Structure 1
Amino acid sequence: MRTPHAEKGMAVGLFGGSFNPPHAGHALVAETALRRLRLDQLWWMITPGNPLKNTADLAGMAERLQWCREIADDPRIRFTTFEAAHNFRYTEETLRYLRRRNTGVNFVWIMGADSLAGFHRWQNWRNIAETVPIAVFDRPGSTLAYLSSRMAKTYDFARVDEDDAALLARMKPPAWTFIHGPRSALSSTAIRRGEADPSGL
């Protein structure tokens, strides 16, 4: 339930979600983020639940944590449920806590392009964008989100070319990039409905 340990100067990716359940698409984003952003660590943060989504069918925290551990085995990945321990529900309060307790660590927020479209509905979304660099990863059907979303339009001036993604974690926010690459059409909703296999097979 505690936050992972990171040394000053490290580049650390923050990959949050309900992961209900996690799947090969999540593992692909994590793997791509580690490589393209040149991260020292990636914190896979299993959240208590998304305030913008129905949590009625949310599996237990311990179960989701175990699922995540089974689907990703890179030694640079740290799995954590600290948000539940502190009753954090919003990204802004999570970031405030992490920055206060990890002075000198270079955090970068990681999310899929499908989340970018509704990012402006996150609580105090502008504060988030101006607190930590953001890396947005392409998702099927969401490629144009980086052009049409309110966040992308508002912070167009702060967009970083994806060729410079390796520098993102150490940039002063607002700074964000859109990373194209291998994509997975898997979704946790489809898996819960029995319409897809978490492995992507």
Structure 2
Amino acid sequence: MGGTGLTLPQGLRVGLLGGSFDPPHRGHAHITREALKRFGLDRVVWLVSPGNPLKPRGPAPLADRMAAARGVMAHPRVVVSDAEARLGTRYTAETLARLIALHPGVRFVWLMGADNLRQLHCWDNWQAIMAQVPVGVLARPGQRISAQTSVAARVHATARLDQAAAHLLPLMQPPAWCFLNVPMLDVSSTAIRAAGEWRAD
């Protein structure tokens, strides 16, 4: 287990999808299925964070979000995890460093929506994220152009893998990233909360 609650054999290709999942929804499930298929992953771990440092409002209780995530994403190769809470990490770069140290030989890929690539340069120690693991970016509605012209995309332009070779991403040495255009569902946690459709209690 190694302190993360995860059992990850050496050589496994594991996608990591982090976020508050407040609430989890079919959009998260959709990009997870696409990532499994297109990036040739053995498993995807949903890292349900205790809280998002970039968001001023605290999320619903972790246990509620974990339970909801398991309901949304029932898949034999997807694990819903509270590893960040177990490790006591708060930022992605820090979480990745701990996971890599605790699970040697696992080929991790950080997964994110295109909206996160657009603002990646605002994340704490974002360059360390790019230096530690390959990054798989999945397009979301309205974010394709702004994401591909973002600071992070420009800085690491030469490390971009063509989407035709996306299945090779887990084998690449970082920095390496791949931008996938996939059929997208235009749904967000923010919109669900605004509509009053998410209740944690």
TM-score between both structures, scaled by the size of structure 1: 0.94
Letter in 2 for 1:164: A
Name the structure 1 match of 2:19: 17
Letter in 2 for 1:157: T
Please say if residues 119 and 125 of structure 1, whose CA atoms lie closer than 8 Å, have aligned partners that are also in contact.
yes
> Does 2:64 match 1:45?
no
* Structure 1 position 145, deviation (Å): 2.8
Name the structure 1 match of 2:86: 85
> Does 2:75 match 1:74?
yes
CA distance, structure 2, for counterparts of residue 42 and residue 145 of structure 1: 26
Q: Which runs of 5+ in 1 are unaligned?
A: none
Secondary structure of the equivalent of 2:147? helix
* Structure 1 position 2, deviation (Å): 3.2
* Structure 1 position 55, deviation (Å): 2.6
Name the structure 2 match of 1:154: 155
Identity between Structure 1 and Structure 2 (%): 42
Please say if residues 8 and 105 of structure 1, whose CA atoms lie closer than 8 Å, have aligned partners that are also in contact.
yes
* Structure 1 position 182, deviation (Å): 1.0
CA RMSD of aligned residues (A): 1.4
The aligned length equals: 196
Please say if residues 4 and 83 of structure 2, whose CA atoms lie closer than 8 Å, have aligned partners that are also in contact.
yes
The C-alpha deviation readout for 1:23-73, integer Å capped at 9, x for no partner, is 1100001000011011111111100111111233x1100000001000111
* Structure 1 position 195, deviation (Å): 6.8
Name the structure 2 match of 1:30: 32
Q: Which runs of 5+ in 2 are unaligned?
A: none
Secondary structure of the equivalent of 1:34? helix
CA distance, structure 2, for counterparts of residue 194 and residue 179 of structure 1: 29
CA distance, structure 1, for counterparts of residue 84 and residue 57 of structure 2: 16
Please say if residues 186 and 196 of structure 1, whose CA atoms lie closer than 8 Å, have aligned partners that are also in contact.
no
Superposed counterparts of 1:155-174, under 5 Å: 155-174=156-175
Name the structure 2 match of 1:100: 101
Name the structure 2 match of 1:110: 111
* Structure 1 position 133, deviation (Å): 0.2
Name the structure 1 match of 2:56: 54
* Structure 1 position 3, deviation (Å): 3.2
CA distance, structure 2, for counterparts of residue 93 and residue 31 of structure 1: 26
Runs of 4+, deviation exceeding 2 Å:
none
Letter in 2 for 1:13: G
